[in-house]
Amino acid sequence: KNQVEQSPQSLIILEGKNCTLQCNYTVSPFSNLRWYKQDTGRGPVSLTIMTFSENTKSNGRYTATLDADTKQSSLHITASQLSDSASYICVVTPSGSARQLTFGSGTQLTVLP
Amino acid sequence: GAGVSQSPSNKVTEKGKDVELRCDPISGHTALYWYRQRLGQGLEFLIYFQGNSAPDKSGLPSDRFSAERTGESVSTLTIQRTQQEDSAVYLCASSTTGTRNTGELFFGEGSRLTVL
């Protein structure tokens, strides 16, 4: 069964600090890997999308990396802000299956003042 | 509308009742997905519509769940004889293409269902 595992499950940091969230997956082969941000009570919003041939993708203070050999991805948040408090979800699309994205359970990030 | 619209935003119902959830995708988006998200958990795939192709219903948890889509527009998710374990947020998403490509997936705000 294809799996996407995220760590840590939750994380608390102080405003202004950096942090890195991890995503390990067994989906293979895969078409693309996405990171989403989900604020409490809202729908997920896309942060980055990387194909299997890409190593890094940035979106402002968010930088995602991908190592297809080790099947690992990370999301680095720089100079955190209170508004970064949310759940961050890693999503992998298997090749040949446009239909069934595989979602991780998310990392709940809390940024404190 | 500018985004994916879902209604109702909140629904409280009694066990055994039927509920219908609605999703209006972004105009022109051929792909539409329904997901279920239980409290504190990840998204579970329910069903996928792509243009006029037969829908992928492989994620529907039981025959109490069904979904329809009219052409490339509105979709409704129906849950019959609701059970307490159906309590969750039901999220709808749409995309210009299937997600095998890097078509971005746009989510609605979800419909929160509480079964008493």
Res A80: pLDDT: 97
Question: Is residue A113 within 8 Å of residue A50, measured between CB atoms?
Answer: no
Residue A97 touches partner B, C-beta closer than 8 Å: yes
Residue A70, CA distances (Å) to A35, A108, B68 in order: 18, 24, 40
Q: Residue B108 pLDDT > 60, yes or no?
A: yes
Res A101: pLDDT: 82
Res B81: pLDDT: 97
Q: Burial code of A45-58, b = ≥16 C-beta within 10 A, e = fewer?
A: eebbbbeeebeebe
Cα-Cα-Cα-Cα dihedral sign, residues B97, A92, B106, B109:
positive
Rounded Cα gap, residues B66 and B57, in angstroms: 8
Res A97: pLDDT: 66
Rounded Cα gap, residues A17 and A47, in angstroms: 19
**Cis peptide bond prior to B25, omega within 30° of 0:** no
Residue A105 touches partner B, C-beta closer than 8 Å: yes
Query: What is the torsion angle, in degrees rounded to the nearest 10, for the CA atoms of residue A27, residue B47, residue B42 and residue A79?
Result: 80
For B16-54, the pLDDT digits (tens) are: 999 999 999 999 898 999 999 998 888 999 999 988 888
pLDDT, one tens digit for every residue, chain A (113 residues): 568 999 999 999 999 999 999 999 998 888 889 999 999 989 999 999 998 889 999 999 999 999 989 999 999 999 999 999 999 999 998 877 656 788 999 999 999 99
B positions 51-110 inside 8 Å of A (CB): 56, 58-59, 91, 93, 97-102, 104-110
For residue B76, what are the contacts with CB-CB under 8 A and spacing of at least 6?
Answer: B20, B21, B22, B23, B67, B68, B69
For residue A60, what are the contacts with CB-CB under 8 A and spacing of at least 6?
Answer: none
Residue A99 touches partner B, C-beta closer than 8 Å: yes
Q: Residue B1 pLDDT > 60, yes or no?
A: no
Q: Residue B80 pLDDT > 90, yes or no?
A: yes
Q: Residue B14 pLDDT > 90, yes or no?
A: yes
Residue B4 touches partner A, C-beta closer than 8 Å: yes
- Mean local confidence (pLDDT), B97-103: 59
- DSSP for residue B56: B
Work out the mean pLDDT of chain B and round it to a whole number: 91
**Reduced to 3 states, what is the DSSP secondary structure of residue B18?**
coil
Res B28: pLDDT: 87
Residue whose pair of structure tokens reads 């203070």 in the numeric block:
A61
Q: Burial code of B34-70, b = ≥16 C-beta within 10 A, e = fewer?
A: bbbbeeeebbebbbbbbeeeebbeebbeeeebebebe
- DSSP for residue A69: T
